[in-house]
C-alpha cells in the first residue's frame, strides 16, 4: 500500500542552480547562487540593503532573467518559459513588493479582486474571493470600499497581502513586508504568513533587519553581496 504523499516528497517549488545576475555596468547582484524552496516552507531571505534579495524575488517572478545558471519555478525554467505561459505561472505566485504597488484610482476591493479577474474569474466570484482574502488578513468590510490612500501603512500592507493570496497561490513572495509597520503590526504580518505556510503555501520573505520573533518553522537564507551564505 502506498504511503500518502507529503509536501516534502514533492520536488522543490523553486530552485536556483548556480544563478548569476549582472546589471548594466557589470554590477553583480547575484553570484553563483544555489538553493531550493520546498513546498509549504517558510523561508526568510535576510541580508543588508542591496545584497540581492529583491533580485531573487524578481527572478522568481520572471520580471528579470538570470545572466547565468537556471531558475525553475514549479518545474518551469524561467528563462525558457514561453511568453504566453508567463502570466499563468505568475497566477500561481502571490507577490507583495516593498512599495506595495496598490492602485490608488480604485477601491481596496477592486485592488484585491484584480488578480482573480486577470485569471479569468467572473466579476462576482472575483469580488467574493477578494472579500474572503480581506477577511483573512483581518480587514473588515468597511475597508473594502475606500481607496488604499485612505488606509494606514499597516492596513495597506494587509491589502497588498490580500491581493497576493486572492488566487490561492502555491508561493507567496514578500519583499520587506514589515518595513512600514510597527512591531505589533510586523508580528501580526509574520503570524499571517506563517499561517499560510501551515496551510501549505510556500512563503519566501525578504527582510533586511532582524525579524523577531521568527516563526518556529522558518528557515533562514542569508544573502550578502549577491552570495547566498546559508
Partner 1 sequence: MSMFAAQRYALGRATAMVRDRPLPFVLGVVLTASALALPLALASIVWSARPALMKVQPAPELSVFVSPRAAARDVEALKGRLGVLPGVTSVVLRPKDEAFAELIKKSGFRAPPAELGANPLPDVLIAQLALPIAPEAIDGMSATVKTWPLVDAVRSDLDWYRKARALGRLTVTAVAVFGGLVALLVALILVGTVRLHAGTRADEVAVLKLVGATRRFIVRPYAYSAALTLLSASALAIGMVYLAHAALRAPIASLTALYGARFSLPDPEPAHLLAVFAGALAVGWLVGVVGARAAISAR
Binding site for partner 1 (CB under 8 A): 61-63, 65, 83-84, 86-91, 93, 95, 97, 101, 103, 105-106, 114-115, 117-123, 126, 163, 167
Q: How far is the CB of 184 from partner 1 (least distance, A)?
A: 28
Q: How far is the CB of 189 from partner 1 (least distance, A)?
A: 19
Task: Please say which residue, 9 or 105, places its beta carbon nearer to partner 1.
Answer: 105
Task: Please say which residue, 93 or 161, places its beta carbon nearer to partner 1.
Answer: 93
Task: Please say which residue, 57 or 143, places its beta carbon nearer to partner 1.
Answer: 57
Task: Please say which residue, 89 or 179, places its beta carbon nearer to partner 1.
Answer: 89
Q: How far is 92 from 176, CA to CA, in rounded Å?
A: 20
> With contact defined as beta carbons under 8 Å apart, do 226 and 52 qualify?
yes
3-class SS of residue 178: coil
Q: How far is 45 from 117, CA to CA, in rounded Å?
A: 31
> With contact defined as beta carbons under 8 Å apart, do 35 and 16 qualify?
yes
Which residues are CB-contacts of 209 (< 8 A; sequence separation ≥ 6)?
Answer: none
Q: How far is 144 from 146, CA to CA, in rounded Å?
A: 6
Q: How far is 220 from 214, CA to CA, in rounded Å?
A: 10
Q: How far is the CB of 126 from partner 1 (least distance, A)?
A: 7
Task: Please say which residue, 82 or 212, places its beta carbon nearer to partner 1.
Answer: 82
Q: How far is the CB of 109 from partner 1 (least distance, A)?
A: 13
Q: Residue 19: exposed, middle, or buried by beta-carbon count in 10 A (0-12, 13-18, 19+)?
A: buried
Q: How far is the CB of 115 from partner 1 (least distance, A)?
A: 4
3-class SS of residue 116: helix
Cis peptide, bond prior to residue 213, ω within 30 of zero = yes
Q: How far is the CB of 168 from partner 1 (least distance, A)?
A: 12
Task: Please say which residue, 155 or 175, places its beta carbon nearer to partner 1.
Answer: 175
Longest dimension (CA), the chain: 58
Q: How far is the CB of 125 from partner 1 (least distance, A)?
A: 8
Task: Please say which residue, 47 or 62, places its beta carbon nearer to partner 1.
Answer: 62
Partners of residue 203 on adjacent β-strands: 42, 172
Amino acid at each position: 500500500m502506498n504511503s500518502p504523499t507529503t509536501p516534502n516528497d514533492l520536488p522543490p517549488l523553486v530552485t536556483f542552480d548556480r544563478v548569476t545576475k549582472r546589471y548594466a555596468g557589470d554590477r553583480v547582484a547575484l553570484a553563483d547562487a544555489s538553493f531550493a524552496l520546498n513546498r509549504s516552507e517558510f523561508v526568510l531571505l535576510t541580508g543588508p540593503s542591496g545584497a540581492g534579495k529583491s533580485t531573487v524575488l524578481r527572478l522568481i517572478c520572471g520580471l528579470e532573467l538570470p545572466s547565468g545558471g537556471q531558475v525553475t519555478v514549479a518545474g518551469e525554467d524561467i528563462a525558457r518559459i514561453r511568453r504566453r505561459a508567463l502570466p499563468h505561472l505568475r497566477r500561481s505566485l502571490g507577490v507583495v513588493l516593498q512599495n506595495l504597488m496598490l492602485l490608488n484610482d480604485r477601491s481596496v476591493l477592486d485592488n484585491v479582486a484584480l488578480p482573480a479577474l486577470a485569471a479569468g474569474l467572473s466579476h462576482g466570484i472575483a469580488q467574493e474571493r477578494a472579500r474572503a482574502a480581506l477577511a483573512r488578513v483581518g480587514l473588515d468590510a468597511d475597508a473594502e470600499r475606500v481607496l488604499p490612500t485612505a488606509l494606514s501603512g499597516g492596513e495597506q500592507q494587509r491589502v497588498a497581502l490580500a491581493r497576493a493570496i486572492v488566487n490561492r497561490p502555491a508561493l507567496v513572495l514578500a519583499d520587506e513586508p514589515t518595513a512600514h509597520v510597527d512591531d505589533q503590526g510586523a508580528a501580526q504580518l509574520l503570524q499571517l504568513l506563517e499561517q499560510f505556510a501551515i496551510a501549505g503555501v510556500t512563503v519566501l520573505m525578504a527582510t533586511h533587519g532582524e525579524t523577531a520573533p521568527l516563526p518556529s518553522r522558518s528557515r533562514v537564507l542569508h544573502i550578502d553581496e549577491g552570495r547566498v551564505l546559508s
